[in-house]
């Protein structure tokens, strides 16, 4: 048996002085520090915070097929360094896209010796794959992503209402969740672009109304089919009223937003810098404030990275061409520090951090019975960190494949010292070599 202790362990909604007893990968007990059994190998972490490992249910790992963009090895090392102990991979932009059982198996075959944290997959809904959904569910997948707009990937076409009408009853009957990229292209013609560098023009090309109308439509479909719907990467605060109204009616709609929508705003995004391009876009400061209010009042459920990397060439940085740049923000490793830093300004605490980045994401993928909390019987997944120390995000520190981020040179609060997965140390700030054996599991 092992014991880890600290003056600040997050248990039952509070930071308390306690020791966690770990046996067989799980939390055997939580005890006072003077009650640690004599046969335990004990590590005292002083006053570092011990918190549940983060759960990031929105990560694009892109392997197989686009492994030059990202891969399981690098993504899960970055996750471990970011205090994340479970990632759920999106059904695109890998090749093949995860829309068939065969594709699930192809992806699973890539995992061996590359899982530094636990990994699960989301499946995909595309036109005409409704006959694959049951097979994928039988293989353990319980959440499926659909796009209501062009995904940028030819093999992953958008789902129109007819497609959703076929897929949603199947998901509902099996208690699975539909994840939705909620934007509807309301333009009848190609936009007339005057300056391809201009962030403002890019922003105006994907207005709030696209998210609003999509969310309105998907809520109606959720109600019609009694199908659980989860809105991914909510960017527009205008849509919050729709989600609130759905909640009042008891419609099963949840939502997430991402660090970039909560910490960056259009007023300060430089023109021509593809690192800041994502869809839906990062909007203005007022919108950002309303998203925070949406989290605080429970309209938005949680925060995930939407880590969606690509190669530097695809970001068109030299050309400064926002229109041709691939959309997606890379931030997998930095979510905890970014959100912790932002919480300071809003006078919010670690309880919110745990709720938004551990407990509630665990719910989405049905892991809330074993992960996301420090509780007797739960898996011994922890992040051990110093909330009072600052660090600057440098290219050299990035562990994911393409060393690029919208947050380079940002100074943030919160340094992760160690990460535990099922009782084993998987990341150590003083030894980032990853020479041990990866112990992550497919879940
Ligand atoms: Zn995404």
Q: What average pLDDT does the segment 49-63 reach?
A: 98
Mean residue pLDDT of the chain comes to 96
CA 47 / ligand 1 centre spacing (Å): 36
> What is the predicted pLDDT for the residue at 10?
98
What is the spatial distance between Cα 331 and Cα 200, in angstroms, rounded to a whole number?
Answer: 22
What is the spatial distance between Cα 134 and Cα 140, in angstroms, rounded to a whole number?
Answer: 10
CA 42 / ligand 1 centre spacing (Å): 40
pTM equals 0.97
> What is the predicted pLDDT for the residue at 187?
87
For the segment 283-328, what is each residue's pLDDT rounded down to a tens digit? 999 999 999 999 999 999 999 999 999 999 999 988 999 999 999 9
CA 193 / ligand 1 centre spacing (Å): 25
What is the spatial distance between Cα 443 and Cα 166, in angstroms, rounded to a whole number?
Answer: 27
Assign 405 to helix, strand or coil.
coil
Q: Which residues pair with 268 in a beta bridge?
A: none
367: alpha, beta or left? (left if phi > 0; alpha if psi -120 to 50): alpha
Rounded percentage of the chain residues whose pLDDT exceeds 90 = 96
pLDDT surpasses 90 at 23: yes
Q: Give, in order, the Cα–Cα distances in Å from 291 to each of 200, 337, 432.
A: 20, 18, 35
What is the spatial distance between Cα 441 and Cα 118, in angstroms, rounded to a whole number?
Answer: 5
- Cα-Cα-Cα-Cα dihedral sign, residues 90, 94, 99, 104: negative
CA nearest 158: which of 186, 125, 130? 125
For the segment 196-254, what is each residue's pLDDT rounded down to a tens digit? 999 999 999 999 999 999 999 999 999 999 999 999 999 999 999 999 999 999 999 99
What is the spatial distance between Cα 353 and Cα 198, in angstroms, rounded to a whole number?
Answer: 34
Assign 383 to helix, strand or coil.
strand
Domains located in the chain, CATH noted? 2-50+378-428 (2.30.40.10), 53-364 (3.20.20.140)
* Model confidence band, residue 432 (pLDDT cutoffs 50, 70, 90): confident
pLDDT surpasses 90 at 436: no
CA 346 / ligand 1 centre spacing (Å): 27
For the segment 84-126, what is each residue's pLDDT rounded down to a tens digit? 999 999 999 999 999 999 999 999 999 999 999 999 999 999 9
> What is the predicted pLDDT for the residue at 435?
83
> What is the predicted pLDDT for the residue at 188?
73
pLDDT surpasses 90 at 189: no
CA nearest 221: which of 156, 129, 213? 213
CA 93 / ligand 1 centre spacing (Å): 9
CA 200 / ligand 1 centre spacing (Å): 22
* Model confidence band, residue 192 (pLDDT cutoffs 50, 70, 90): confident
> What is the predicted pLDDT for the residue at 372?
98
> Within a 10 A sphere around the Cβ of 203, how many other Cβ atoms?
17
CA 440 / ligand 1 centre spacing (Å): 22
What is the spatial distance between Cα 427 and Cα 333, in angstroms, rounded to a whole number?
Answer: 12
Q: 225-243 burial, b if ≥16 CB within 10 A, otherwise e?
A: bebbbbbbbbbbbbbbebb
């Amino acid at each position: 048996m092992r014991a880890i202790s600290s003056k600040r362990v997050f248990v039952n909604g509070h930071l308390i002085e306690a020791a966690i007893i770990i046996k067989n990968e799980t939390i055997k007990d939580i005890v006072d520090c003077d009650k640690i059994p004599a046969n335990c190998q004990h590590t005292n972490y002083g006053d570092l915070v011990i918190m549940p490992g983060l759960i990031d249910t929105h990560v694009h790992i892109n392997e197989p097929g686009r492994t030059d963009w990202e891969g399981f090895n690098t993504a899960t090392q970055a996750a471990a360094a970011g205090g994340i102990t479970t990632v759920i991979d999106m059904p695109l932009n890998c090749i093949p896209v995860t829309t068939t059982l065969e594709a699930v198996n192809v992806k699973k075959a890539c995992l061996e010796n590359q899982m530094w944290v636990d990994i699960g997959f989301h499946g995909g809904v595309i036109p005409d794959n409704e006959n694959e959904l049951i097979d994928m569910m039988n293989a353990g997948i319980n959440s499926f992503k659909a796009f209501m707009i062009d995904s940028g990937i030819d093999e992953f076409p958008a789902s129109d209402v007819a497609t959703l009408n076929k897929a949603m009853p199947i998901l509902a009957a099996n208690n699975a969740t539909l994840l939705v990229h909620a934007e509807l292209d309301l333009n009848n013609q190609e936009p007339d672009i005057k300056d391809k560098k201009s962030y403002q023009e890019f922003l105006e090309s994907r207005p709030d109304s696209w998210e609003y109308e999509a969310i309105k439509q998907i809520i109606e479909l959720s109600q019609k089919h009694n199908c659980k719907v989860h809105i991914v990467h909510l960017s527009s605060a205008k849509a919050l009223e729709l989600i609130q109204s759905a909640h009042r009616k008891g419609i099963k709609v949840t939502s997430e937003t991402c660090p970039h929508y909560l910490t960056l705003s259009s007023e300060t995004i430089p023109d021509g810098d593809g690192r800041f391009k994502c869809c839906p876009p990062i909007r203005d400061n007022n919108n950002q404030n309303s998203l925070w209010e949406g989290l605080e009042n429970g309209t938005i459920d949680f925060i995930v990275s939407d880590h969606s990397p690509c190669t530097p060439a695809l970001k068109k940085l030299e050309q400064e061409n926002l229109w041709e740049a691939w959309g997606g923000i890379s931030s997998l490793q930095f979510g905890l520090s970014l959100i912790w830093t932002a919480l300071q300004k809003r006078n919010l605490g670690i309880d919110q951090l745990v709720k938004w980045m551990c407990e509630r994401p665990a719910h989405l993928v049905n892991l809330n019975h074993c992960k996301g909390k420090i509780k007797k019987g739960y898996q011994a997944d922890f992040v051990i960190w110093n909330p009072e120390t600052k660090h600057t995000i440098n290219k050299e520190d990035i562990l994911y494949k393409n060393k690029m981020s919208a947050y380079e040179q940002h100074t943030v609060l919160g340094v992760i010292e160690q990460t535990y997965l099922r009782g084993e140390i998987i990341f150590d700030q003083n030894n980032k070599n990853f020479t041990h054996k990866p112990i992550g599991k497919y879940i």
